[in-house]
Structure 1
Amino acid sequence: QFYALFFLQSILKVDGYTANLLIAWSLLLGTGFFLVWGALSDKIGRKPIILAGCLIGALTLFPIFKMITTNANPALEKAYETVKVQVVADPASCGDLFNPVGTRVFSAPCDTARAFLAQSSVKYSTVPGPAGSPVKVVVNDKDVPYTDAKTSNPAITAAVQAAGYPKAGDAGVVKMSHPFDVFRPQVASVIGLLFILVLYVTMVYGPIAAMLVELFPTRIRYTSMSLPYHIGNGWFGGLLPATAFAITASTGDIYSGLWYPVIFAAITVVVGALFIPETKDVDISKT
């Protein structure tokens, strides 16, 4: 739910207007399934549907997001598979890139180089260099001067684009000219994939309100529902873009940030299956 818009805009470089319309259409098509799964949970139980949504999501997020890349920015996908980029640096000079509130200032050349490449959606690997050696960026086995620029590095940008990475605004990136421009195959395919992600969301959120009410007795219900729910959504969900970007920047893989939602979905399946009771038949008037 939280990652798709971030991925479209920050990783695939889809313009904000198009990205928001794509998400809006997927939500419009999928919203009715909140009612479907909620009603079904009244018949078969809350747990099976919620845990199925989390499990299916954990198993399929990687292939779905790769298909989103294929359809939304095919040139990026091709470059991702064919262009080899390396950051060669003394391992002692490379730190972590976790910046949850955007206040950290990275000054080490290894960190600024990796952050710049990650922000440019360039796949790269970090190669250990000799102790004390300066940072070097290598694109398809050719050394590229690195000037330690934190926001712009024309030499690296030119090198990766010459090797095959698309420029901002290239024609191959999915783009919608108006809100109802949904019938072209490229646009429809991306909306369809996003719709699948929305289905996973509806499987969890359709039954969850009833389940949270049924989990707790009246005297502690409000606190018991609100506190963990908003910690989970506010902190773990709200920090997802920053955490996912830090993972992506550290590994050089645009898909590695998906491990964050995948791991939490998997944890939910395990904890839910082992420790959370089924609540469908709980009479909340007697608790």
Structure 2
Amino acid sequence: MGQATAAAMREPSDKEIRLVIAASSAGTVFEWYDFFIYGTLAGLIGAAFFPSDNKTLETLLVWAGFAVGFGFRPLGAILFGFLGDKLGRKYTFLVTVTLMGIATAGVGLIPSAATIGIAAPLIVICLRILQGLALGGEYGGAAIYVAEHAPPEKRGFYTSFIQASVVGGFVLSILVVLACRALIPAEDFAEWGWRIPFLLSLILLGISLWMRLKLSESPVFQAMKEAGETSGNPFKESMTYPGNPKRIFVALFGITGVLTTIWYTAFFSSLSFLRGPMRMDESLVEWIMLIAGALSMGFYIIVGKWSDRVGRKKPIIIGALASLALLFPIFWGMGSLANPGLVESSKAAPVVVSGPACEYDPFAEVQASQCGRVLQDLTALGVPYDIDAQECGPTAECVAAPMIIGDQLYVYDGLSNENRRDTIKGWLEDNGYDFDKQNPPLMNVLGIIALLMVCGVLSALTYGSVAALLSEMFPARIRYSSMSIPYHIGAGYLGGFLPLIASYIVAMTGNAYSGLWYTMTVVGFGVIVAWWGIPGGPPSDFEDSHQDPPASPVLP
């Protein structure tokens, strides 16, 4: 009996499908909440576990810890993909959500670096590794589980709820943080209250397990198991199955690379951009992200349903090309609305710094030169700058050059480390720079939300149909492994390292918008691969266009 026939005989009822979608989506919301709460509370985590006099270094260390979790996602994809293809979809993602919940709660229990020293950040990194391993198995399990229950003509629509649930996890993390801030005084929240959102993951874990334990195994996996068609070595077969190397390459660069960099730019880069260089009030930024994220969730479902009619390729190509055209204008617009004074000041009184050894190393605790320390201060203040390289040679003595703000000249050489930043800040304020927390007027806030929703549309176009597309690209016997490995390599490295890489580029250039070039590069390459490799035309099952085993490596 073939897989398709067996699956059709076991087609679930509408009630069962609703439970499948609800349980899988809720579990995905909770699991991504666990992962995103780290990024939402990045500033407080940095102060607790990665304290440094160099605030830029502190931020980079937090994002490096964030990236570590993503770096282990491919290993989790291999491990849990193997288990999912061998033992079943249901029990594998029960394990992943349990591991994620326990690891997240652990972060809330770690003493600060002031209490236990270097052990604190090391324990945080170990827990981030466990989170990464768990997440490497979660997405593939949830996406496949829903896809294998859905009728082909509604697969994009049903699986789009999984995609929307990823945004739901981000929204839930912000909602919990806002609630904690409202109930706990600011000083107490900064000291200990930030731990509560991490500990709440245990409650979410209990709800998720209760819902998922009510599910039965995927009908496709049950049919394969009864027919003795499960893979003996899913990882090896994923690498050797005819046509799979090409499909994995396309899934990695043409699908995941595109969707993940756009997603993190839309939600994480914008969050850091508004709270950091634009100096907006943190609570206001969180409310803005909450509203924009919640409203954006519907776009993923619309795109998923649309892909059932037009195919999976068209939305992805449209979203990628639109992102290349719109991301810079969107962020320029948000900057102008969030902190118009900074934009005007940087134009009216641009900052130019020069001096001997005028280089800035964002990863250095102490900069090698006085000029480097000035650049560190400007970066921490969110002020863009240019460097006027000073030439020194055998006949020219290299002396400390001034900093020019607009048409005013200031000599920074000789400033002590204790008062240097305050002095430079005062010079900038004398030239019109405002370093107060920004609370722009309502119309500006609404404009920022609208621009973030455009980001949400771009993300939905490249993400909404992906669970269905990846499920259809690979044979059922190795589907869990084959789709999870490229997805989590792309999401783990191309997307997970985006906050770190973008922050580093911004720190090195002094330009708050320069980090977007990383996204542009990944998406630019990805759209070429997507155009070449994603199957066009109406959606179809893998089995609909292949014999088993396939006679030739032709894309489905």
Q: Deviations over 1:195-240 (max 9, x none)?
A: 1111111111111111111222223322222222223223332322
Aligned match for 2:331, one of 57, 61, 65: 65
User: Hey, which of these two has a bigger chunk of helix by percent?
Assistant: 2
Identify which of 221, 226, 230 aligns with 2:488.
230
The answer as to whether partners of 1:213 and 1:225 remain within 8 angstroms in 2 is yes
Q: Given the superposition, is the C-alpha separation of residues 204 and 149 from structure 1 closer, same or farther in structure 2, using an over 3 Å criterion?
A: farther
Contact 2:352-2:405 at 8 Å conserved across structures = yes
Counterpart of 1:4? Answer: 270
- State the partner residue of 1:154: 422
Match of 1:130 among 391, 395, 417: 391
* Rounded Cα–Cα distance in structure 2 between residues aligned with 1:89 and 1:245: 24
Any conservation in 2 of the 1:211–1:279 contact (CA below 8 Å)? no
| Residue 281 in structure 1 maps to residue 546 in structure 2 | no
Tell me the SS of whatever aligns to 1:108: coil
Alignment match of 1:211 (pick from 469, 473, 477): 469
TM-score (norm 1): 0.85
- Do residues 116 (structure 1) and 377 (structure 2) align? yes
* Mapped contact 1:89–1:135 kept (Cα < 8 A): yes
Q: Distance in 2 between matches of 1:237 and 1:76?
A: 29
Q: Does 1:16 align with 2:277?
A: no
**RMSD over aligned Cα atoms:** 2.4
Partner Cα distance (1:135, 1:242) in 2: 32
Name the CA shift for 1:119/1:51 in 2 (closer, same or farther; >3 Å): farther
Q: Deviations over 1:58-117 (max 9, x none)?
A: 111111111111111111111122112112033x552554x5xxxx43422343322321
Give 1:254 shift. 1.6
What runs of 5+ residues in structure 2 fail to find an aligned partner? 1-265, 393-397, 547-556
Pairing 1:37-76 to 2, within 5 Å after superposition: 37-76=303-342
SS of alignment partner, residue 450 of structure 2: helix
Q: Is the 8 A contact 1:214 1:282 kept in 2?
A: yes
- One of 163, 170, 178 as aligned partner of 2:431: 163
After TM superposition, give the deviation of residue 276 of structure 1 in Å: 3.1
Task: Using the TM superposition, give the Cα deviation of residue 250 of structure 1 relative to its aligned residue in structure 2, in angstroms.
Answer: 2.0
Q: Distance in 2 between matches of 1:68 and 1:220?
A: 44
2:354 to 84, 88, 103: 88
Contact 1:116–1:150 (CA under 8 A) maintained in structure 2: no
Q: What is the CA distance between 1:133 and its match in structure 2?
A: 3.8
Spell out, residue by residue over 1:162-217, the C-alpha distance to the aligned partner (whole angstroms, 9 max, x if none).
112112225xx337xxxxxxxx3122111111111111111111111111112222
Whole-angstrom distance in 1 between the partners of 2:509 and 2:291:
32
Between the aligned partners of 1:152 and 1:24, the Cα distance in structure 2 is 37
The letter of the residue matching 1:190 is I
- Given the superposition, is the C-alpha separation of residues 71 and 54 from structure 1 closer, same or farther in structure 2, using an over 3 Å criterion? same
Match of 2:218 in 1: none
Q: Distance in 2 between matches of 1:11 and 1:118?
A: 9
Distance change (3 Å), C-alpha of 1:86 and 1:148: farther
Correspondence for 1:189 = 447
Q: Which residue of 1 aligns with 2:409?
A: 142
The 1:185–1:142 alpha-carbon spacing in structure 2 relative to 1, beyond 3 Å, is same
Amino acid at match of 2:274: L
Q: Distance in 2 between matches of 1:26 and 1:252?
A: 28
Deviation at 1:150, TM superposition (A): 9.5
What's the secondary structure of 2:434's corresponding residue?
coil
- Structure 2 residue 458 is the aligned partner of structure 1 residue 200: yes
**Residues 46 and 160 of structure 1: is their aligned pair in 2 closer, same or farther, counting only changes over 3 Å?**
same
Paired residue for 1:270? Answer: 528
TM-aligned CA distance change 1:17 to 1:57, over 3 Å: same
Paired residue type of 1:120: L
Equivalent in the alignment of 2:367: 107
Q: Secondary structure at the match of 1:142?
A: strand
- The change in CA–CA distance for 1:37 and 1:148 in structure 2 (over 3 A counts) is farther
Contact 1:114-1:250 at 8 Å conserved across structures: no
Q: What is the percent sequence identity of the aligned residues?
A: 31
8 Å Cα contact 1:211/1:280 also seen in 2: no
Could you say which residue in structure 2 is the equivalent of 1:181?
none
Counterpart residue identity of residue 324, structure 2: A
Higher RCO by CA contacts (8 Å cutoff, separation 6 or greater): 1
Alpha-carbon shift at residue 135 of structure 1 (Å): 6.4
Figure out how many residues of one structure are paired with residues of the other and give that number. Answer: 271
SS of equivalent to 2:410: strand
- Over 3 Å counting, the alpha-carbon distance change for 1:96 and 1:215 in structure 2 is farther
Moved more, 65-74 or 115-124: 115-124
Query: For the residues of structure 1 that align with 2:490 and 2:470, how far apart are their CA atoms?
Result: 13
Tell me: CA distance 1:56–1:152, structure 2 relative to 1, closer, same or farther (3 Å).
Answer: farther
Q: Determine whether 1:31 maps to 2:302.
A: no
Task: Name the stretch that deviates more: 234-243 or 80-89.
Answer: 234-243
